[in-house]
Amino acid sequence: MIERLKRYGDEFKTFAMRGNVIDMAVGIIIGASFGKIVDSLVNDVIMPPLGWLMGRVDFSKLVLSIPTGREGDVVNINYGVFINTIISFLLVAFAVFILIKGINKLRADKTAQDAADEAAVPTVKQCPYCFTEIDIRAVKCPHCTSDLNV
């Protein structure tokens, strides 16, 4: 039993120290922080002027109160907070879209550069005797049988 736990511990250590796992952990931490920044942007910067333009409405305080039947007891549906959350989600989704679009553009530029480099490497040469185009790896011309290594 102890040997099995030790083996699992070693496997977990190997797994946790791989680059992908560490990169993922950093991404999650930065993503959580980014989410807090977007929440603050929505709640503290975007929604107050929007609420003011719509007649001095504080979206975070918009609720639908439903009486439960007991005296003074109500259930609140906080749809204003839900609206704030939807706007936060849309901003995060848009930011991720812009990020992925930029990464794809960089990858496309790299792929295009690789293709251009590949195209720049000659694949054919000309026989100096019969002037026929032949494969660059050829040592004898298939047309005039001349030795090309001379």
User: Which tokens in the block code for residue 24?
Assistant: 């993922």
Distance CA 11, CA 92 (A): 35
Q: Name the β-bridge partners of 125.
A: 134
Consecutive sets of 10 residues in the chain, 150 residues long: mean pLDDT of each?
A: 81 73 81 85 84 82 86 88 86 84 82 70 86 88 83
User: pTM here?
Assistant: 0.51
Residue range 89-131, pLDDT digits in tens:
888 888 888 888 888 888 887 777 777 667 677 888 888 888 8
| Cα–Cα separations (whole angstroms), residue 78 to 19, 29, 64, 108 | 42, 28, 7, 45
2-120: CATH class: mainly alpha
The percent of residues above 70 in pLDDT, for the chain, comes to: 93
